[in-house]
Amino acid sequence: MHVHLVAPSNEDSTYIKPLWVSTLAAHTPPDVELTFRDDGLDPIDLAKEQDTPELVGISVNSKTACRAYAIADAYRARGSKVVLGGIHVTALPEEALAHCDAIVSGEAEWLWQRVVEDAREGRLGRTKSLTAPRIYKHEVWPELVGLPIPRRDLLKSYKYVPFDVVQTTRGCPFPCEFCSVSTYNGTSFRFRPIREVLVELEQCGPRILFGDDNVMIHVKYSRELFEGMVPLRKHWVGQASLAALHKVENIEVMARSGCKALFIGFESVDDAAVNSSGKRQNKPRKYGDIVRALADHGIAVWGSFIFGLDEDAGDSFDKTVDFCTESKMTMALFALLTPYPGTRLYKRLLAEGRLTKDRWWLSSDHDTDAPFYQPKQLSREQLREGWVRAWRAMYSYGSIAKRYDFGMDRSWIQNVAYWPINLMMHELAERKIAGGDRAWRKHRSMELPFGL
């Protein structure tokens, strides 16, 4: 039996190794021929390709839904069975079922074997089957104990960022209005046994990207894990909430364990904005001190900010960029507030009649139409123009030079990788954000490795 996994893509984005592929590979029976294709690295030509594997598995998020459905429809037209999974189909199962034979709702561990077996026996997608459902779903959130170590042999491309992705926890209790994490992973903490995580880390390469939504979501667990990582001498990056970063002892243990960079959701530099969005753990007055403390421990900061919150006004863009520049932030990402299906934000904007495109994800070029709602204090045009201006200001050559923060106590990301990363982000800001070229990497005259 041939099972083919596909990671759909509708734009150039960060080339991170997809953990879901390695996870499903570890749960696939050994007698199954398993292949994988990343549509971002190796685009699929739907009009020309004629392969017909018995089963095709596609993971779908809202930004890739339109492309994922087109790929699924093409494979089904050629006779393949298709199963869809991921956060988007979990939120909108009925929509997804129009494009596949079955879906996996929520997490796929311990369900995938049954999906493969049902496909092998010809039961997958039979609407009258008493044994094979069209929606595979756990009755309760499964414990993260005894999980097989992900198979990473399918992810060998030199184009990927050279970090192995590892996940240690799932679930998030923070009630952020715009976030869809709890839709997919639940609102309660679940942890992998630390010993199992360390065994997996020992088998990975020297650089790790933690796929957790918050590597410090439970301080006691995280500190024990990081202390156990010290002898492994790994270099790692991850995502963290600000809630635990105001304590220097938490920063110190992360630094000792090999942390070199953190992606942090600051969201806004305005107190009222972060409070109304449900991020009450964020205290803008403390942002600068936290960024400085992390930098002094050799941890680069990649800040994430959202424009278009109800409290955002015309000066929000410049104030945000000014903060990033003055704090010498290594990198920053500026997002337009996006109403993802299943979130409290989507439901509120729909109830208030402020959505301008209620199924924006079904457009093949959805970025052109963003934002998909009417902001409170700005016009849609003002919001988009301010967003573009912030990107260009942050990654202007002057800002890149001003933010550089060399020091003997800094990490290789802060001192060396800073330049190629920021110059790549300058290109992204000019060509994709301002110029609208969603495939800007593919239009370069030279192909670069390692996700640059």
Rounded to whole angstroms, the Cα distance separating 229 from 21 reads 25
pLDDT on residue 13 = 65
pLDDT on residue 64 = 94
In CATH, what number is assigned to the domain containing residue 380? 3.80.30.20
Q: Could you tell me if 184 and 73 lie in one domain?
A: no
Q: Could you tell me if 189 and 122 lie in one domain?
A: no
Q: Please check the confidence at residue 452 and state whether its pLDDT lies above 60.
A: no
Q: Could you tell me if 100 and 220 lie in one domain?
A: no
pLDDT on residue 259 = 97
CA-based nearest residue to 335, from 433, 212, 403, 210: 433
Rounded to whole angstroms, the Cα distance separating 145 from 163 reads 24
Binned at pLDDT 50, 70 and 90, residue 282 comes out as confident
Within a domain: residue 147?
no
pLDDT on residue 272 = 84
Q: Which tens digits make up the pLDDT trace of 345-380?
A: 999 999 999 999 999 999 988 788 899 999 999 999
pLDDT on residue 450 = 60
Q: For residue 298, which amino acid is it?
A: G
CA-based nearest residue to 38, from 69, 72, 70, 4: 4
Pick from 102, 119, 137: which residue ends a domain? 137
Q: Which tens digits make up the pLDDT trace of 397-429?
A: 999 999 999 998 899 999 999 999 999 999 999
Binned at pLDDT 50, 70 and 90, residue 178 comes out as confident
Binned at pLDDT 50, 70 and 90, residue 447 comes out as low
Q: 273 versus 23: which is more confidently predicted?
A: 23
Q: Which tens digits make up the pLDDT trace of 87-145?
A: 999 999 999 999 999 999 999 999 999 999 999 999 998 765 556 679 999 998 889 99
Q: Which tens digits make up the pLDDT trace of 70-83?
A: 999 999 999 999 99
pLDDT on residue 132 = 63
Q: Could you tell me if 185 and 69 lie in one domain?
A: no
Within a domain: residue 144?
no
pTM of the prediction? 0.92
> In terms of residue numbers, what domain contains 14?
2-137
The domain tally of the chain equals 2
Within a domain: residue 251?
yes
Provide the token pair at 110: 């311990």
Contact in structure between 4 and 51 (CB atoms under 8 Å): yes
Q: Could you tell me if 224 and 274 lie in one domain?
A: yes
Q: Could you tell me if 180 and 127 lie in one domain?
A: no
Q: Could you tell me if 277 and 417 lie in one domain?
A: yes
Rounded to whole angstroms, the Cα distance separating 179 from 172 reads 10
Q: Could you tell me if 168 and 120 lie in one domain?
A: no
Give the residues across from 102 on adjacent strands: 83
Q: Could you tell me if 173 and 304 lie in one domain?
A: yes
Q: For residue 119, which amino acid is it?
A: A
pLDDT on residue 446 = 58
Q: Which tens digits make up the pLDDT trace of 285-297?
A: 899 999 999 999 9
Q: For residue 187, which amino acid is it?
A: T
Q: 450 versus 225: which is more confidently predicted?
A: 225
pLDDT on residue 131 = 60
Q: Please check the confidence at residue 442 and state whether its pLDDT lies above 70.
A: yes
In CATH, what number is assigned to the domain containing residue 111? 3.40.50.280
Q: Among all chains, which residue has been given the structure tokens 């184009």?
A: 159
pLDDT on residue 445 = 60
Q: Could you tell me if 170 and 82 lie in one domain?
A: no
Q: 275 versus 175: which is more confidently predicted?
A: 275
Within a domain: residue 313?
yes
Within a domain: residue 351?
no
| 32-61 mean pLDDT | 95
Within a domain: residue 450?
no
pLDDT on residue 383 = 97
Rounded to whole angstroms, the Cα distance separating 110 from 341 reads 26
Q: Could you tell me if 256 and 296 lie in one domain?
A: yes
Within a domain: residue 355?
no
Handedness of CA 181, 183, 184, 190 (dihedral sign): positive
HEC string for the chain:
CEEEEEECCCCCCCCCCCHHHHHHHHCCCCCCEEEEEECCCCCCCCCCCCCCCCEEEEECCHHHHHHHHHHHHHHHHCCCEEEEECHHHHHCHHHHHCCCCEEEECCCCCCHHHHHHHHHCCCCCCCCCCCCCCEEECCCCCCCCCCCCCCCCCCCCCCCCCCEEECCEECCCCCCCCCCHHHHHCCCCEECCHHHHHHHHHHCCCEEEECCCCCCCCHHHHHHHHHHHHHHCCEEEEEECHHHCCCHHHHHHHHHHCEEEEEEEEECCCHHHHHHCCCCCCCHHHHHHHHHHHHHCCCEEEEEEEECCCCCCCCHHHHHHHHHHHCCCCEEEEEECCCCCCCHHHHHHHHCCCECCCCHHHCCCHHHHCCCECCCCCCHHHHHHHHHHHHHHHCCHHHHHHHCCCCCCCCHHHHHHHHHHHHHHHHHHHHHHHCCCCCCHHHCCCCCCCCC
Contact in structure between 55 and 35 (CB atoms under 8 Å): no
Q: Could you tell me if 173 and 56 lie in one domain?
A: no
- Average pLDDT of every residue of the chain: 92
Within a domain: residue 247?
yes
